[in-house]
Amino acid sequence: MSIYTLIAADLLAITFLVFGLYFPRHRRRDMIVAFLAINVGVMGVTYAMATADVSLGFGLGIFAVLSIIRLRSTEMDHSEIAYYFTAIALGLLGGFPGINGTVGLTLMVILLLAMTIGDSPRLLGRARTQQVVLDRAVSTEAEAAELLDDLLNADIQRVVIRKTDLVQQTTVCDVRYNVRATADLPTAASTTAPERMPATAGRAS
C-alpha cells in the first residue's frame, strides 16, 4: 500500500471527524480550521521528516517547536481536546511512510470509532457537569446537594465545594448530576413559585 493511499485515507478520516462528528455535535465553527490545519500540518511534517535525510536532533527540534504552540484564543473543553489529539494522531498515521498500510488504516478506523462512540449524545446522555454559585454560605456537601436538588430538579450524583465566602455569603461548587426524565418533572399544576431562590446557576462546563 503506497503512502498516497495513507494520505488519501487521512484526508477522508479528518473530513469525517470534523464535518461528520465534531461540527454536527458541537457547532463550533472556529475549531474547524484548527483541526484541519493541525492534521494536514502534522501529516506533512511527518512525511518530510521520514523521507528526508535529517538527524534525530533535527526531528526532535521540529516537534519541540510544535509543542510550544499554545491555544490562546478561547478555552477548549475536554471533548474538543480529544478531537484535537485525534486530528494529530490521524496526521501522524497518514504521513509516516514506514508504517504498514493495513495497520495504519486499521488504527485510523479505531480512532474514528472511539470518537464516534465516546462522544455520542446517546452515551450517558442524561449526565451533566456544572459549576454552580449558591447565594448562601454552605459548609457541607450534603447541604449543598439538598439545595442543588431543588434548584436543578435533578438527581445529584456528586458535589464538590470549591469555595465558601462567608463575607459575600456565596458558595462555589462543582456538581455532577443526571437530568430527570420528562415523566419525573413536576407538572405546572403541582408547581408552586418558591418564596426565595436558593441559588443562582453559574456557567455550564
pLDDT interval class at 184 (50, 70, 90): low
Query: Which residue, 118, 135, 165, sits at the end of a domain?
Result: 118
Mean pLDDT of all residues in 55-69: 61
- CA gap 13, 116 in Å, rounded: 12
Domain end position, chosen among 118, 147, 169: 118
Among 168, 180, 178, 171, smallest CA distance to 202 is for 171
- Domain end residue (candidates: 67, 83, 118): 118
Confidence of residue 196 (pLDDT cuts 50, 70, 90): very low
Phi, psi of 24 (to 5 degrees): -60, -25
Asked if residue 152 lies in contact with residue 200, where contact means CB atoms within 8 angstroms, the answer is no
Average pLDDT over residues 126-140: 89
Answering whether pTM is above 0.75, one says no
12 with 110, same domain?
yes
Phi and psi at 176, nearest 5°, equal -110, 130
- Both 88 and 155 in one domain: the answer is no
Encoded amino acid at 66, one letter? L
Q: Which three cell numbers stand for residue 129?
A: 457537569
Both 107 and 132 in a single domain? no
- Across the chain, mean pLDDT equals 82
Distance between CA atoms of 103 and 15, rounded to whole angstroms?
Answer: 20
One-letter amino acid for residue 95 of the chain: G
Residue 18 domain boundaries: 3-118
Q: Which residue has the higher pLDDT, 48 or 26?
A: 26
